Structure 1
Amino acid sequence: MTEYTPITEMGPLDRFTYRGTNWVPVDYDSKEYRFQKETDHRFETRISHAEIRQALKNETASVHYNFHTKTETKLRHLVGDKRVDDFRARDVAIARFHEALILRYEQHCAETGRKLPRSEKLAGLLKKWSLEIQIEAQELTEQDGTKRKTRCDASTSFYNTPSVRSFNRHFREYMSCGRDVRALIYRRNGPGFRNAKVECAESYAIWLEEARNYASRRKPSKAKLLRDVHARIAEENKTRVGKAPLITPGRKRFEALIDAMDEFEVVAGREGLPFARAQFKPKMDSYDSERPGERVEMDDWNADAMTSMQACGFWQALPKALQEYLIENPQRIWFCGAVDTSVNYVLAMKGGRNPSSALIVDTLEMVMTDKTHIAKLVGAKTPWFGVRPEVVYTDNGPTYIADATRDAFLMCKIALTRPPAGQAWKRPFIESLFKTLARDIMMFFDGRTFSNVVEKNDYSAAENAALAVDEFINLVIRAICDIHHNRPSARLNNLTPHEAWVQKTKTYRVRAMPGRHEKRHIFGVTKERVIDSAGVTVHGIPYNSDALQILRRKDGWKKYKVRTHRNDLSAVSVFTGEGWLTVENRISMPTNISLAEWYLAKKDLNRRNGAKSEANLPIMYEAINVMRRAGTSAAMRAGISLHTLRPEEISDATDQLFEGRPFTEEDKFDEVNLHDDEIAYDPLHDGYVGPQGGEFAGPATSEEIQESTTEADTYSDNNDDEPSHFGEIE
């Protein structure tokens, strides 16, 4: 049985508003209505009855009956969309009195059976009817226990009887507006404005000049300016011998000149332009963004590490020598953050020494990455998601208009929008985030500090300062994941940003984040390599394929552009002249090895073998497993440390390190499997920090103690190696 859809009643004199557009019904059949656009009848559309009923039910459409009739049009011109209750009570009472006179006139005509001429003969009846109507009204009010208020100087509380001419005007307006009492309501509030009359142009110019002094930083009062203009005119009149004297203004007229000034100009002159901008700026925190990634805002935040450490209790736990070093060498951090406006979800927070386009590009890559491993690294219990944005709003800083920044957004297929300078309120969510971090979130970490920085008292102050700043960055990221994302918000119907994000990603379709090949193409580092029989060798890893060898046979010993990504060494991209060719590695390297891990593992291999030409893949994997157990690997892949090298820097640093024989498949004589990150125990992860000491390093087994002793003996024999930019492996 098919479902029956009733037809909504509409006609050519009605208005149908659908999705913000006004339409006029023209014709209909059993299936649909035909509409014409109200502003231009050349545009037509057809809407089914089922869609109309559903739109009316969802309140996305409305029907205004008789909208295009003559009476509705005239009434709309007279009173607009005001209701009777929107007018003053006395004006409504007078209108109802005039309506009662009109009804009494129609009743008299019906009783006599003939139309009474609305001429001077009607004057006597109007007086009689007026008295009867008001007496009846007064009796009704006395019965209800109320009495109409009267003026103290009024001799009677009755309304004046209108003249025949006024009655005729009321009758015509009442009938032409469809017998609507609103047409009889008194709509004027006075005699209107008189024509501006300037008695003396010279006097008026002095008045205006003195009135404009009200918008001054001296903040004079209106009374003082009035005294000044009187004194100035009196001084001018002394010199006007034989001329008409200038005129002094009255208080009301002079204050009217001041009140007519632009309010923004007055506040800017008295309080300053920044104060005026802040007071009169629109509050733009209700953008209609529903889908995650629909609107993302990015901005920079300059944080003084020492001040922030003191605010959150981190400073008191640092050694005295480290505190003195930080005082002499202030550590300032530039955070670049990104916020999704649909649920106020922080998509990225990247720290750097200085604002740069490289920091923004790294933040953009962080936005489009699942950051759960970073949340796990800093000890957060809440996962950290990512998305590919549709539009990103930034300011007009030099780092955001740089070519590298615009090219990165272009390659990611993300629209980059920059509101006009000085209008920070058009990016309210990111501005509010930085204020929240500086004011609210950090206080939750009072006394909670990481213990490993405090325990390393035997290191230099400079190294400890770098570690302390890194720990502070971890603290900020953990505050975002576990506090900001789990704080209920009234804007989200008392849901947390994390809950709203999960709910909306299940409801709406979101753009897919780029894969490892696309990230390598967008954020990778480009080198030049020659194709040989082993393919191309980058960082000691051979990459080869049949397509690559065909290219070699075609062009011979020619250098090709090779692009790599710091977090994925399993494949590279080679530019063939017509496009980029993806080439996999030939030593079965998995996809989760970063360049930083590979770099430190090679240094460890050189330390063990004593010769850079030796290559042993199992030892490399063993060193990577050691780093992953210590949590160093996750920190390097996250790239949240300030002293972590940029991808270009570490890529150049590996050129000499991996010179010599590349790794081959035969080197895997003792295969070692890579393990997932097993981050070392940290008391902050459990929300507890005790006194300084080794007892908080977590329980250790006898095998781990023996392993750490053996590794310490091994490393102590090789103290002549050059220091690593990433720190030594412990």
Structure 2
Amino acid sequence: MKHSDFNRLDLIILDGAEYRVSSHDTDGIVLAGIAAPHITRSITHGELEELLRSPRFRYVAEGASRAVAERGLIGLPEHFRDLPEAKRDIALWRHLYVEELLRYVDAGLSKRTEASVNAILPAIIGAVEMAIRKRQRGLVKRAGRKEALHTPPCAKTLLTWKRDYVNSGFNIMALVPQTHRCGNKRHMLPGERAAFDALIAEYASPLRPSIDGIHERATNLYADFNRGRAEQDLPKLKPPSRSSVYRAIRQMDPYESYLQRHGADAANKKFALIEYGVQVLRPMERVEIDEWEVDLTTLIFDASLLDQLTAQQATALEVTRLVVCVAIDCATRCVVGLTLSRSTSSQAAIRTLEMVTTDKTAIALSLGCRAGWHQGGRPEFIAADMGSAFVSEDLKIACAGLHARLMNPAGGVAKLRSRIERLFGTFSSHFVSRFRGRTFSNPVQRGDYNAEAEASLTDQDLLEAFVTYIVDVYHQRRHAGLQGETPADCWNRLVDKYGLPTPVDAMDRRAIFGVELERTISGRGVRVFGADFTCDELRDAYKHRHQRSVRLRFDQMDLGWIAVEIDGTWYPAHDLSGALTGISFYQWSAFAQTVMEHNRERAAVSAEILHDGFPAPHTRETVASYGYRIARLSGLSSLPEMAYLFDLDLRALLMGDRHSVERLARYTGCDPAALSNGALDASNPRRLQLGVDPRNKVMSAKDRFRFCPACLGELADGHLRSACLARTDWLIDANHVCAEHEIRLMTITPRKASRIQPDLSSLVLQLTAAQKAMWQPDHPTSLECYIAERLGGMHGGRWIDDLQLDVIIHTAEVFGAMASRGANASWQDISADERRRHGCIGADVLTEGPAAVKDFLHDQIGRGRHGNDYRKAFGKAFDQFYFRKDQPAYRPICEVMAKYVGENFRFTGQEKVFGILTRGIQPTTLRSLCKQHGIGTKITSLVLKAQYGIRAGESHVVDPALIAELAPKLRDLLNAQDAGRHLGICVEVLRTLIADQLLLPDFRFNNRMMGFRPETLDAFLGTWVAPTKIRKTRRKVACKPLTIFARAHRTRTSHVLLAADAAEVNFTYDRRKQGLGALGIAEKDSAAVLERLRIFPRNRAALASTDSTGLKNHGKIQ
């Protein structure tokens, strides 16, 4: 369509700039700018048609005329419709009079003079009033109806209206009354205006003064002004009225004034811009989760007993406000998860997230709901606030397992989670208001209402009411945010359109939300909460593997099967009984509690029978006391005899164990402190009272122990201990010869540290065995021979000759047990004969020296990759030495073992092994050596493979000298990612530079792995970011970053660099960035660069044909 009726006075506003029509023809129109430099612009008729439908284009007929300009000065709007209704009615009324007058003038019945108009004025008034009456009364005439008519104008006024109307080009805006400009308005003096504006500005203050306060200050200010003016004989100034102060305050910026009075947060909240928010299409595309403290007090009590309480008892119950954690689907507004707890916690958030992924129809039906609650699935995006429950590591792990992105918007900005915040408002106004005990949102709304006293719901009642309201009320109500559609119908509609959300299978559910435990494998599998679970993998692990404990996970909503981990793989294990299928953990716990209460009631029935059986154990004490008195009369009053009679631990009695002494006192009927026979002396634990006669007090030797080898050799092994300690004559200092065999007693002189140890039971057994070997020369052992030599005073110059004899025997037994049974085998059932054989094996090792000990330990426990591995490698033998490491007698043995551990196990620094400091072995694996030298493991392994032909993994042993030689060179080598950061570009751009040979790596392993030296990258930057290539200007130049320019024109950054260099174009430089990322192309240079890029494909093809992978000079580190 062609437009040719434009006027030179017409105003056209295009993109905010004002134009006049300069010319027009059949092709289009030419516009000339009104403001300097009067830029012209051509528009075709087709473009004009498009602009007329766009808000960018405005056409104001005769907008550049004087009348339009004057209308703007008097404050009239652009359109007649925007006028107030009163002024619009007056203008229309005047328009009737003016049009009627013009009709008379055009017909020649009147002239444009006041006298001629007075002649026809009654006729004009009559015609106008008749038209007004028709418009007011409508179609039906009715007598007595009131009519509102304006006072008619005089001839002079009518001619004035006609003149303004005609001069404005018959524009009705010329007839609008200008009464708003009437009045005698006084203009303030310059100094007065400045003082008044400063006073008005005080309204925007954190002190928040009122309008009356500002008016009072203005009155006082003008009083001071007038006193000064009176002294200068100047007239007084009239102070502004309250309405003037009010109008001045109303003219202030409302946002700025509110910001100064109430703060930034309050201002942003009050003047928040309303937007559409996050737009989602599919169900479970975005889920918002948050916690809300319910505005309702709740009784924490068993609901079944509430009806049985009195009013006073019900008041005394615990009353609190519960916290509800809710998840809502943003697309359908359906509530997909809900939990109720006493306080905020990450576990409540995780349980809510678990409900999001499940079908909750069974829960709804069990609580009496009529509709289902099937809404849910795997969420794609989860939005939560910055609460402690939603920033916890547990919730992040659960979201990662669901492959859902968790976002925590800034706190205090409710519009970032508008759906869930609006839902809490609905709960407060539409759900909580139905119950007694409401706390309201603030104390003003609450008033004198006592919410705690009015509380009537229990926590279980509140949960049932919540679920019922959500399923049967909220999901079935029309929702304003869904254009009147219900959330349930919206879910069904979107599911039909996009399909159901992705489900979470049972194994993933146990991995993400399951409770993890650790149990021991048995022949029946694993036992959890009283049930046995098994599978083929568990049975195979029990029979053919050394693994005896497994990790397991179970779903709290289904105990029918669990997941068990075997060698890093999870397998399902089912309940053997099959009774737990579909049973939840909570149902099973309630059932177990019921069974326990039933058993407890049945056990109470047998309480009398059980009480009657209590005196039976005291019979033993009575018999024991009676037997003790018989023993005293018979002369059997030694400590070993009493220990044997009363089944006591002789070693514990010798060590002075308090419980053993009290037990002996209870059997003998004596006070523990008053025991005089058969017990330890309280003043000296080594003193024994071994006779009925108080004079028969003997004391064991302080520095030696004696025994008769002939007496011990004639006895059987089962009576060795009691027979040895029963011979009191051996313990008398004056006796040196056995009275029975007349053989001199053998003596053992222990070290000083062992004299406070009266427990010689293990030593007696070994000494007895050694003496038996002396009398049986056909079956001697190395340990027995060595003990015989030591007891005989002979020394062979061995390194263990200076060790205490009981330490040698104990160490030999431990080493022998390690060799015969293994380090981690049980040693509890070792007999005396087996210990003797074990001691023989260990003695062979000890007598050969420390080197043999190290070789023995190497065969038994081997080497370790970590320092703490030696504890597990020693197995049962670790405690045998660790708890004796502080005894000086064991220190030589501990030193040898600590030295071996330090040589074969790795430590991070100086650590103690069996109480001895050790530095550990030097690292030899590739991982440890790279960590020591601070270089990358991957790049080092590639260098070894490319340069030396060595294939080495992280755990492989390599030459430390070779790694130490490569470390200084590899430490400064940068990989592709670090090189990209150094140049200020991404890795993809870096690879294009390498492919086009603008940048050559110093070391290249394959198409993706390469190395750069910092000086190479600095030289590259010095080439392209040199001062000669940077545009020198002090003005701000419109430009586009180099990488964005390349992406916009679908080319490489390297091609843009080459094209700019060929076109001799200088780059712009952004000082806020670094490297190539700071370079840009000015808009005025874009055409030249693009022109070069158009002829660049030939060069690009030639560049692509270059063998970019044949960088042989960079294949070896120099």
Q: Normalising by structure 1, report the TM-score.
A: 0.51
Give CA deviations for 1:628-677 in whole Å, capped at 9, x if unaligned.
xxxxxxxxxxxxxxxxxxxxxxxxxxxxxxxxxxxxxxxxxxxxxxxxxx
Is residue 405 of structure 2 the alignment partner of residue 405 of structure 1? Answer: no
Is residue 299 of structure 2 the alignment partner of residue 298 of structure 1? Answer: no
Q: Is contact 1:562-1:575 (8 Å) kept?
A: no
Q: Is contact 2:522-2:542 (8 Å) kept?
A: no
Is residue 464 of structure 2 the alignment partner of residue 474 of structure 1? Answer: yes
Quote how far apart the aligned CAs of 1:438 are: 4.0
Q: Is contact 1:298-1:338 (8 Å) kept?
A: yes
Q: Is contact 2:98-2:162 (8 Å) kept?
A: no
Residue 415 of structure 1 is matched in structure 2 by 405
Q: Is contact 1:299-1:338 (8 Å) kept?
A: yes
Task: Report the aligned-residue RMSD.
Answer: 6.3
Is residue 369 of structure 2 the alignment partner of residue 355 of structure 1? Answer: no
For the residues of structure 1 that align with 2:53 and 2:480, how far apart are their CA atoms? Answer: 47
Letter in 2 for 1:297: E
Give the counterpart of 2:49 among 63, 66, 73: 66
Residue 258 of structure 1 is matched in structure 2 by 249
| CA 1:221–1:499: 2 relative to 1, 3 Å | same
Q: Is contact 2:525-2:532 (8 Å) kept?
A: no
Letter in 2 for 1:363: T
Residue 376 of structure 2 is matched in structure 1 by 387
- Please state whether the residue corresponding to 2:324 is helix, strand or coil: strand
Q: Is contact 2:359-2:375 (8 Å) kept?
A: yes
Q: Is contact 2:550-2:564 (8 Å) kept?
A: no
Is residue 550 of structure 2 the alignment partner of residue 567 of structure 1? Answer: no
Matches within 5 A, 1:40-439: 66-68=49-51, 73=57, 75=59, 155-157=156-158, 159-161=161-163, 200=190, 204-205=194-195, 207-213=197-203, 220-222=210-212, 224-235=213-224, 250-251=240-241, 254-264=245-255, 280-281=271-272, 289=280, 291-303=282-294, 307=297, 318-320=307-309, 324=313, 327=316, 329-388=318-377, 389-439=379-429
For the residues of structure 2 that align with 1:478 and 1:303, how far apart are their CA atoms? Answer: 16
Quote how far apart the aligned CAs of 1:516 are: 1.6
Quote how far apart the aligned CAs of 1:717 are: 0.8
For the residues of structure 1 that align with 2:456 and 2:246, how far apart are their CA atoms? Answer: 63
For the residues of structure 1 that align with 2:435 and 2:250, how far apart are their CA atoms? Answer: 51
Runs of 5+ unmatched residues, structure 1 = 1-9, 12-62, 100-124, 172-180, 192-196, 448-464, 608-710, 722-730
Q: Normalising by structure 2, report the TM-score.
A: 0.35
Letter in 2 for 1:375: A
For the residues of structure 1 that align with 2:93 and 2:546, how far apart are their CA atoms? Answer: 100
- Please state whether the residue corresponding to 1:362 is helix, strand or coil: helix
Letter in 1 for 2:291: D
Letter in 2 for 1:398: S
Letter in 2 for 1:260: Q
For the residues of structure 2 that align with 1:288 and 1:70, how far apart are their CA atoms? Answer: 28
For the residues of structure 1 that align with 2:564 and 2:274, how far apart are their CA atoms? Answer: 47
Q: Is contact 2:513-2:555 (8 Å) kept?
A: yes
| CA 1:66–1:189: 2 relative to 1, 3 Å | farther
For the residues of structure 2 that align with 1:591 and 1:189, how far apart are their CA atoms? Answer: 88
147-156 vs 483-492, greater mean Cα deviation: 147-156
Letter in 2 for 1:354: S
Is residue 601 of structure 2 the alignment partner of residue 716 of structure 1? Answer: yes
Letter in 2 for 1:433: L
Matches within 5 A, 1:570-719: 570-572=561-563, 574=565, 576=567, 581-585=570-574, 587=576, 589=578, 591-598=581-588, 716-718=601-603
- Please state whether the residue corresponding to 1:440 is helix, strand or coil: helix
Q: Is contact 2:299-2:317 (8 Å) kept?
A: no
For the residues of structure 2 that align with 1:140 and 1:466, how far apart are their CA atoms? Answer: 77
Letter in 1 for 2:381: V
Is residue 522 of structure 2 the alignment partner of residue 522 of structure 1? Answer: no
| CA 1:355–1:300: 2 relative to 1, 3 Å | same
Letter in 1 for 2:328: V
| CA 1:548–1:151: 2 relative to 1, 3 Å | farther
Letter in 2 for 1:587: L
| CA 1:161–1:471: 2 relative to 1, 3 Å | closer
For the residues of structure 2 that align with 1:206 and 1:145, how far apart are their CA atoms? Answer: 49
For the residues of structure 1 that align with 2:538 and 2:47, how far apart are their CA atoms? Answer: 69
**Which structure is higher in RCO with an 8 Å CA cutoff and minimum separation 6?**
1
- Please state whether the residue corresponding to 1:363 is helix, strand or coil: helix
Q: Is contact 2:203-2:249 (8 Å) kept?
A: no
Quote how far apart the aligned CAs of 1:385 are: 2.0
| CA 1:126–1:556: 2 relative to 1, 3 Å | farther
| CA 1:154–1:365: 2 relative to 1, 3 Å | farther
Give CA deviations for 1:7-56 in whole Å, capped at 9, x if unaligned.
xxx99xxxxxxxxxxxxxxxxxxxxxxxxxxxxxxxxxxxxxxxxxxxxx
| CA 1:442–1:234: 2 relative to 1, 3 Å | closer
For the residues of structure 2 that align with 1:602 and 1:501, how far apart are their CA atoms? Answer: 40
| CA 1:276–1:68: 2 relative to 1, 3 Å | closer
Give CA deviations for 1:562-586 in whole Å, capped at 9, x if unaligned.
4333233413153755xx5343437
% same residue: 23
Give CA deviations for 1:497-532 in whole Å, capped at 9, x if unaligned.
334433443344342231222211211233456778
Q: Is contact 2:200-2:245 (8 Å) kept?
A: no
Q: Is contact 2:563-2:572 (8 Å) kept?
A: yes
For the residues of structure 2 that align with 1:140 and 1:302, how far apart are their CA atoms? Answer: 73
For the residues of structure 2 that align with 1:552 and 1:83, how far apart are their CA atoms? Answer: 95
For the residues of structure 1 that align with 2:528 and 2:349, how far apart are their CA atoms? Answer: 27
For the residues of structure 2 that align with 1:445 and 1:495, how far apart are their CA atoms? Answer: 27
269-278 vs 519-528, greater mean Cα deviation: 269-278
Give CA deviations for 1:328-383 in whole Å, capped at 9, x if unaligned.
63233111112334443222221112101111111111122111121122222221
Give CA deviations for 1:589-638 in whole Å, capped at 9, x if unaligned.
46523344455666778x6xxxxxxxxxxxxxxxxxxxxxxxxxxxxxxx
- Please state whether the residue corresponding to 1:344 is helix, strand or coil: coil
For the residues of structure 2 that align with 1:259 and 1:520, how far apart are their CA atoms? Answer: 63
For the residues of structure 2 that align with 1:278 and 1:563, how far apart are their CA atoms? Answer: 47
Q: Is contact 2:288-2:417 (8 Å) kept?
A: yes
For the residues of structure 2 that align with 1:256 and 1:357, how far apart are their CA atoms? Answer: 54
Residue 1046 of structure 2 is matched in structure 1 by none
| CA 1:239–1:160: 2 relative to 1, 3 Å | closer
Quote how far apart the aligned CAs of 1:302 are: 1.7
Letter in 2 for 1:157: L
Quote how far apart the aligned CAs of 1:96 are: 14
- Please state whether the residue corresponding to 2:158 is helix, strand or coil: coil
| CA 1:603–1:221: 2 relative to 1, 3 Å | closer
Runs of 5+ unmatched residues, structure 2 = 3-45, 69-76, 100-110, 136-148, 182-186, 438-454, 607-1118
| CA 1:218–1:66: 2 relative to 1, 3 Å | closer
Letter in 2 for 1:230: T
For the residues of structure 1 that align with 2:320 and 2:339, how far apart are their CA atoms? Answer: 16
Query: Could you say which structure has the larger radius of gyration?
Result: 2
